Amino acid sequence: MTSYPADLAERVHERLVAQRLKSPGILTLTALFEILYFTSLKTEEGRSCKFSVTYSDPEDPDPKPPPRIRAHRWKHIALARTRLFTVRNVSKLAKAIDPWSSSLAVYPREDGRLCIWGLVDQIVHFNRFLVREFDSGFGTPGLFQAVVQGPADIAVYRRYDCIARLNQASIIIRQNDVFGSGPISKKLMRDVMLYKRTVAKSVGISLSRCLDYWEEEENRLGTLCRILVNIQQYRQGGAVLISPTAKDLNFKYALEYSRLSRALVRLAVNQVRFHRSSRTIHEEFLDENEDSIPVDLYLDCAVSEAELRDSEAELTGCVRFVSALSCIDGLVHLRPDFTLDGFGAEITVAKEIRSLYRASSAGCKPEYLKPVDFNHYGMRHRSMMRYCEAYPDSVGFVVSQDGDIRAMTIVGRKLVMWENVMIHFLQDAYMKRVTKRIMG
């Protein structure tokens, strides 16, 4: 079914009302999203328009500020003269608005017409949190933020949550969190015990105590998500295969790169060391109102924090390095421990796919599986399907040029594919994962 900006407006209105927030109303939302939609189809000096819009009241742009305003928190800056929110005005201003770092502030005038009244800065910190480069960040300003990600592609965020997305002619209101649960998550974490023991041995404490200080799943799966995010942002398409074997792969560029794998271990080791010393200081000295802290303990905390920041920077560099390799035709191959075997790989499996099922939930219950025609997909998708069917332990990810991400693997005897894979760090989804683990 074909969807339009009015359908996106209806979805956003429903979500705002469900959260007991004052919605601008379907008519205002429709007018807003129609302008964004038509602007996204224009080009300025040969470049497609990509920008973001924040819906916020100029009379009260920050209604609930935190007790302490940190230096790098976002702020609204008013224009000397407001401008009508039209395709012409937005497309001109879009050249000055990098959706990664800033946003247009929009709100209706007294006559009901939308206008651009200012800009918002420091949006970069929310985006870095969203793509998992930071472990904390400020929520989006205003009532919501709408991001034009490409032609006819509009995503709407409220604080740390994606409300809805209009992608071409489809409304996406739910993404598949395949990294939080289900067959994909289980296969990717199959060898995690070796990883955990390596970290515990490096720190020199028991495994059970080690796990009190670090989130091993978020490190590994979050890193994979960051790679996929970067490939998505290139808008060239790409593919990542995670498999214990490199059989039936013809590498154009064979290259063993183990730094990513080793960086993940170093990151975890430094996380444990820092959080252990920091917690000891708080629990045994600060909470007990002690007059002094042992020098060795304080020094250990300071050094481990510095090494943790270095490890985070190293991991970011590894992620960017591996992601860029996807720009060459062919897939990027990673072993389960995230060691790279090569890139520009061609799949040589010739046996055709027997059948394909599309899953509408991460858990892959039978009632959520629907048979689909694999011939509907392009060569990049079909070759990945052939490999995953031939090698059941493998997990494949394909990123389309338009940014869609699909994951596939064998479940039982069925080849299953998930569309609309969640790769951004969305607070609601993360809290659901944590709650699920705590509740068992």
Mean pLDDT of 9-18: 94
Which listed CATH number (3.30.360.10, 3.40.366.10, 3.40.1700.10, 3.40.50.1580) goes with 183-439?
3.40.1700.10
**How far from chain centre, in Å, is Cα 331?**
20
Residue 220 has a pLDDT of 86
Residue 53 has a pLDDT of 94
**How far from chain centre, in Å, is Cα 131?**
4
Q: Does the domain formed by 5-172 have CATH 3.30.310?
A: no
Mean pLDDT of 272-287: 84
Among 105-114, 241-250, 369-378, 419-428, the range scoring the smallest mean pLDDT is 419-428
Is residue 431 over pLDDT 60? no
Residue 408 has a pLDDT of 96
Residue 132 has a pLDDT of 66
Is residue 434 over pLDDT 50? no
At 385, the pLDDT band (50, 70, 90 cuts) reads very high
At 202, the pLDDT band (50, 70, 90 cuts) reads confident
* Gap between the Cα atoms of 65 and 394, Å rounded: 47
Q: Where are the domains of the chain?
A: 5-172, 183-439
Is residue 60 within 8 A of residue 81, CB to CB? The reply is: no
Is residue 102 over pLDDT 80? yes
Domains 5-172 and 183-439 share a fold: yes
Among 11-15, 23-27, 254-258, 282-286, the range scoring the smallest mean pLDDT is 282-286
Residue found by looking up tokens 């990810």 in the block? 397
Residue 427 has a pLDDT of 43
Query: In 10 A of CB 403, how many CB atoms?
Result: 16
At 88, the pLDDT band (50, 70, 90 cuts) reads very high
Is residue 437 over pLDDT 80? no
At 170, the pLDDT band (50, 70, 90 cuts) reads confident
Tens digits of residue pLDDT in 114-142 = 999 999 998 887 777 777 666 666 778 89
Is residue 34 within 8 A of residue 11, CB to CB? The reply is: no
Is residue 336 over pLDDT 80? yes
Query: In 10 A of CB 286, how many CB atoms?
Result: 10
- The per-residue pLDDT of the chain, averaged, comes to 87
Tens digits of residue pLDDT in 232-279 = 888 889 999 999 999 999 999 999 999 999 999 999 999 998 988 888
Is residue 119 within 8 A of residue 52, CB to CB? The reply is: no
Query: In 10 A of CB 227, how many CB atoms?
Result: 26
pTM of the model: 0.80
Is residue 196 over pLDDT 90? no
| 366 vs 341, more confident | 341
Tens digits of residue pLDDT in 396-426 = 999 998 778 999 999 999 999 999 888 875 4
Q: What is the dihedral of CA 309, 311, 316, 321, to 10 degrees?
A: 150
Residue 438 has a pLDDT of 32
* Gap between the Cα atoms of 326 and 319, Å rounded: 12
Is residue 389 over pLDDT 60? yes
Starting at the edge strand found earlier in the chain, the sheet holding 238-242 runs: 249-257, 340-347, 331-334, 238-242, 395-399, 405-411, 414-418, 356-359, 369-372
Contacts of 361-369 with CB under 8 Å at 24 or more apart are: 361/176, 361/182, 362/176, 362/177, 362/178, 362/180, 362/181, 362/182, 362/184, 362/185, 362/418, 363/181, 363/182, 364/182, 364/183, 364/411, 364/416, 369/414, 369/416
Mean pLDDT of 89-118: 91
Is residue 328 over pLDDT 90? yes
Mean pLDDT of 3-20: 94
Tens digits of residue pLDDT in 150-164 = 888 899 988 777 888
Nearest to 390 by CA among 358, 418, 415: 415
At 366, the pLDDT band (50, 70, 90 cuts) reads confident
Is residue 46 over pLDDT 70? no
At 45, the pLDDT band (50, 70, 90 cuts) reads low
Contacts of 63-71 with CB under 8 Å at 24 or more apart are: 70/138
DSSP-assigned beta bridge partners for residue 148: 51, 154
Nearest to 69 by CA among 161, 143, 138, 124: 138
